Amino acid sequence: MKLNPPRRAPEAFLSLGANLGDREENLIRALQALRGRGIRLGRLSGLYETEPVGREEQPDFLNMVVRLTTLLPPLQLLTRMQEIEQQLGRVRHERWGARTIDLDLLCMGGLIWRDERLVLPHPRLHERRFVLVPFAEIAADYEVPGTGATVKELLRDCRDPHRVRLCWSAEQVQLRMRKARA
């Protein structure tokens, strides 16, 4: 009798951002909420303070990227992310507006996906330094599906002029998460 090997959970990359309330706390709470239920957190970037893009008359954001593994299908992962946003007080008033938390699915394995709820890889990933800088910190050589380019190549070619400044190292984020669990 031949046994099937265990299914390997695909890796996914998420972008997290916040610019209302206690931004650091909102990001830490979102990371904690992602844990479990078929999701395993992997490498975390540091926290970056970034100028808002789109609607610029709002507070600066804190942004980061996390690598995770999950057996959840893409739409179930998206639903879980939206539940976390709702739990943390996200209200969708306007596109590119201020928010307590924002979770975006950037890439999931080698998947290219397009439907009314989800597009993978994220359609504006290559245009946003606030995503590419922390993404490059944790996976510079990751080839973004459908682009033929790595994250570091996309960052090199990105024309986004908005400021992206490291505030907390990945180690400081992990320490804060451990303290929050205690």
CB 122 within 8 A of CB 105: yes
Catalytic residue among 99, 128, 129, 160: 99
Q: What is the dihedral of CA 31, 130, 24, 26, to 10 degrees?
A: -50
Largest pairwise CA distance in the chain:
65
Catalytic residue among 104, 128, 129, 160: 104
CB 24 within 8 A of CB 176: yes
Is 90 catalytic? The answer is: yes
Is 35 catalytic? The answer is: no
Give Cβ neighbours of residue 118 (< 8 Å, ≥ 6 apart). 74, 75, 78, 105
Is 104 catalytic? The answer is: yes
Catalytic residue among 23, 80, 102, 160: 102
Each residue of 50-87: b (16+ CB within 10 Å) or e? bbbbeeeeeebbbbbbbbbbbebebeebbebbeebbee
Catalytic residue among 23, 29, 67, 90: 90
Residue 21's alpha-carbon distances to 59, 85, 97, in angstroms, are 10, 14, 14
Radius of gyration from C-alpha coordinates of the chain: 16
Residues carrying an active site annotation: 90, 99, 102, 104
